[in-house]
Amino acid sequence: MGKTRFAKRLATLLDVGYGEVAGSGSSDDRALRGTARGWRSAQPALPLLVVLRSLCANPMILVDEIDKAGGSDHNGDIRRTLLSMLEPETARAWFDEALLAPADLSQVSWIMTANDASQLSAPLLSRVALVKVAPPVPAMFGGLLASLLHSIADELGVPANALPPLSDLAREELHRSFADRPDLRRVKRALESALSASAWPRRRKPRARIAAPRQ
């Protein structure tokens, strides 16, 4: 559905720093909390790194697929670490184990994505506003196609009108594919292939020429 893209776009429109951490597949909280001083790989918490990189005191942090995050009491759990980062009182004096000093994280904006909110704990849900987003429907295809074209143009560093034109047949096929399975990643890959085909049409085979004998 483009949840990650939405978060990146929102941070761009708000002109704030942006960072993200993947919940899916995580076995500890080091990507979020950082690592303590004394370790060879010691580094501050992710929000502080984003603040330093963007020079923005209120960056946006995306925790993607928080419902799939793992962890343990021994190695740390992203979901438990978030509890103190989201609580205003503790966030104002977050003690960073790499800097050995408190830091104010209370102005950080958080977005978490989940496919199944029932997997999240009640304490975590109490700290966030839950927004349910319905999957896209075929009637939304026109706006989504325009948005995907702008996204591809941004990735290429060119204006949208510099992209090769799409044929009516290509648009119909993309619309049909989206109606069958409204998967934005799948449609974007198909759109990129269609644009590539428009930019590099098949070369026609040269016609055979018969040279007339000289008189």
Whether the Cβ atoms of residue 92 and residue 104 lie closer than 8 Å to each other: yes
For residue 86, the model assigns a pLDDT of 93
Instruction: State pLDDT tens for residues 47-106.
Output: 999 999 999 999 999 999 888 887 666 567 888 889 999 998 999 999 999 999 999 999
pTM value surpassing 0.75: no
Of 174, 187, 172, 170, which is closest to residue 135 (Cα–Cα)?
A: 187
Instruction: State pLDDT tens for residues 3-23.
Output: 787 888 889 899 999 999 988
Instruction: State pLDDT tens for residues 111-123.
Output: 998 888 888 899 9
Query: Has residue 200 got a pLDDT over 70?
Result: no
> 3-125 architecture in CATH?
3-Layer(aba) Sandwich (3.40)
Residue 111's DSSP bridge partners are: 62
Residue 207's DSSP bridge partners are: none
Domain ranges in the chain are: 3-125, 138-198
